[in-house]
Structure 1
Amino acid sequence: MQDSNKLLEQANRQLASSPNTPTAAGQTNSEPLPDRDAVIDALNQMFAEFELVYHNQYNKAFSNPEKLSYAKKIWFSNLRHISPERIIAATHRAIRESEFLPTVKGILKYCEPDLRELGLPDSHSAYMEACRAPQPKAEYTWSHPAVYHAGRACDWFFLAGSTEHTAYPVFKRHYEDICQRVINGETLSLPAQIALPETISKPLSPDEQRQRMQQLRDELDI
């Protein structure tokens, strides 16, 4: 079998000469790409680790040098815009979490930031926080604004009046959608709290009301 580095280099030369090289989602031609050789090294490491961990599946998927070369060409075209560090981190995450040899789509998913990296609790912890948070909800100190927004999207009365079996799937759907927005770069905020006035007015006594009325009459000369 040919050396895997040579196979990938060969695939990359073919890719570079192709006039129809795809641009990755979210990537524009004006954005700088990671160092090409570093990405190649990261992919070589990925395939080497996958071969060790998913040995039988790997050999079945890449049963000959031609399949391996073509596979690496496809993987490179889809991961070209991702930093080598993120590719390696995704590789290790896939090995930890997946029993099966990952697909390109799977690795792209693993390349997204982990919820914990963004300060986001897991969906069930977020659900419990939303259910237990006291009123007024906007003034509660949330672990992340995404939890508040998911709870509000569900409707607080629905969460309070429904069983977990009914409410959690609804909350989870809203929460995952909002988390994806955060992953995509959106910044969430909580409603602005209305500051209390420095002085709180109190009703005037009857005598004070009569004095105030008389003062108005005098000022208006009536």
Structure 2
Amino acid sequence: MSKNTIIFIGAAIGWFAILMQFVLMMQNRVESLTETTLRFFSYFTILTNSLVALYFSVLWYKKPISFLTRFEKPGFLTAVTLYIAIVGVVYQLVLRGIWEPTGMHRIVDEMLHSIIPIYVIVFWFNYEDKRNVSWKLIPIWLLYPLFYLAFILFRGNYSGYYPYPFVNVTELGLKKVLLNSGALVFAFLVLAFVLVGVGKSLKFKTPNKTTLDS
């Protein structure tokens, strides 16, 4: 299977899962259209899977789009892999037991939290220019989850809605939520070091561009 086909599949399953999740959420909404949409995009899972779908879409399009050209630079794929891997790990360890979806809910849930994270990790393993990913990028990678945490805590303070139980200030209190948030940031940091370290320690050469584009 060519790299371009793999990229197309990544984009297709990404957008399908996101759009289906949006449709399902709208079908079961109890809040206004605006509030439901805001809640939909307040989930780290949705934002990160959207980033994955956008990443694959830009690679598949193959034409330079101003600042989006950085998507192909060493390190960007590692950052995307870091984020989506955390989505998968947190769901499997913390959130899976909270609800038991059925039917299409189950299919989309597994796509967002299991299939896509594994797909991206395998893609990273095969196609990232791992030897040229700098340790100095790690602090930059942490900005996204930090801004996300600040956003959901700020919005939750005014709306009373928190997308995840471990950041629910109303039920847990601010101190507990800050401890949970600190643990999550630490998990991001550890996994970031693991990805860069593993990438630099692999004993094979990254395929050249000609091979990758075949």
Q: TM-score, normalised by structure 2?
A: 0.20
Larger helix percent: 2
Greater length-normalized contact order (CA 8 Å, ≥ 6 residues apart): 2
